[in-house]
């Protein structure tokens, strides 16, 4: 594991007021597309409780190099899950793999948190679909006894026995904006870096999701799907899966991540055969949102290194 070369390719100006990229349902998934040059595609996979809007800024910064496709995983954002969908990490990975198959060529795959674990599984099982892999605070096994850190600070507790009913009543009393602010407080090191326009967008999304009957089920079952994978042993363990990934990989972690401890970063990077690790100071769980320019330079460094055969 060596240092991460940061690209010197000029980036477009960062526009924190840029609205989410337009989206449409494609093959059962809601996909937001960022325009870019023909032939190079980046696919972005969000974390638990997140959505395709988590990638607005990073996709814009990388758009001169790659066209972007940010996915809403089944049950999140505006992707309605198919009947009987199981919500395990492997189930989400299979859905993303089918989307990549339709694209017809390998992509630069970028995943955050749960989306990082999903992307890890996909890269290990379907390497022909992945050109490079970027993992931003991936949901590697972290058994600290506090399920609230996995996502929305309340949602993961809402379906537990005894405390669940009380938590659901508390959630119902919060406005969508208050819920959104809680999530940002958990996931950002410095919530003041989250632009007011972005908070408005997130609050609107939380309000919209409240009307989807499948949204609570998706959160509940995806949460426990992560826990199930964390207790897996042998070849099913995410640590074992990581050793099977052969594509050039970048691991990015915020030093102040309160959701998945940065202590998992070195082990993750060492497990991946072709990985380099970037640790970002004053950064929480969603580095692509809190420090998109730093992440963009590292991702471009990965893409350039993979192209030149130096990674």
pLDDT single digits (tens) 166-182: 655 666 667 888 888 88
Q: How many angstroms separate the CA atoms of 188 and 65, rounded?
A: 27
Please give the residue that has the higher pLDDT: either 176 or 233: 233
Given a cut of 80, whether residue 165 has pLDDT beyond it is no
Dihedral of the CA atoms 226, 75, 152, 250 (nearest 10)? 60
Q: What residues does 109 pair with on adjacent strands?
A: 43, 133
> How much is the pTM?
0.92
Phi, psi at 48, each rounded to 5°: -60, 125
Query: Order of strands, edge to edge, in the sheet holding 249-254?
Result: 23-26, 29-34, 67-72, 41-45, 107-112, 130-136, 249-254, 275-280
Please tell me the predicted confidence (pLDDT) of residue 153.
Answer: 46
**Three-state SS for 14?**
coil
- The superfamily in CATH containing domain 23-148+215-308 is Alpha/Beta hydrolase fold, catalytic domain (3.40.50.1820)
Tokens of 107: 């992509």
* DSSP 8-state code for residue 269: H
Q: How many angstroms separate the CA atoms of 2 and 249, rounded?
A: 12
């Amino acid at each position: 594991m060596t240092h991460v070369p940061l690209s010197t390719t000029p980036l477009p100006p960062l526009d924190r007021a840029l609205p989410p990229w337009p989206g449409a349902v494609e093959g059962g998934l809601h996909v937001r597309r960022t325009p870019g040059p023909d032939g190079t595609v980046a696919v972005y996979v969000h974390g638990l409780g997140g959505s395709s809007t988590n990638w607005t800024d990073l996709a814009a910064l990388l758009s001169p190099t790659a066209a972007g496709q940010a996915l809403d995983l089944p049950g999140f954002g505006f992707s309605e899950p198919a009947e009987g969908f199981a919500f395990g990490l492997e189930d989400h990975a299979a859905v993303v793999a089918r989307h990549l198959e339709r694209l017809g060529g390998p992509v630069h795959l970028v995943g955050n948190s749960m989306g990082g674990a999903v992307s890890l599984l996909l890269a290990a099982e379907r390497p022909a679909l992945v050109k490079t892999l970027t993992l931003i605070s991936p949901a590697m096994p972290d058994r600290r006894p506090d399920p609230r850190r996995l996502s929305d600070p309340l949602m993961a507790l809402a379906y537990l026995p005894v405390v669940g009913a009380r938590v659901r009543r508390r959630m119902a009393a919060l406005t969508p904006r208050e819920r959104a602010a809680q999530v940002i407080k958990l996931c950002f090191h410095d919530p003041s870096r989250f632009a007011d326009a972005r908070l408005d967008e997130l609050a609107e999304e939380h309000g919209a999701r409240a009307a989807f009957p499948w949204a609570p089920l998706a959160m509940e079952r995806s949460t426990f799907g992560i826990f199930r994978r964390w207790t897996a042993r042998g070849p099913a363990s995410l640590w074992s899966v990581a050793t099977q990934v052969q594509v050039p990989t970048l691991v990015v972690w915020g030093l102040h991540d309160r959701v998945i401890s940065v202590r998992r970063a070195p082990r993750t990077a060492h497990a991946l055969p072709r990985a380099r690790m970037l640790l970002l100071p004053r950064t929480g769980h969603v580095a692509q949102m809190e420090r998109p320019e730093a992440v963009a330079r590292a991702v471009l460094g990965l893409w350039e290194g993979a192209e030149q055969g130096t990674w």
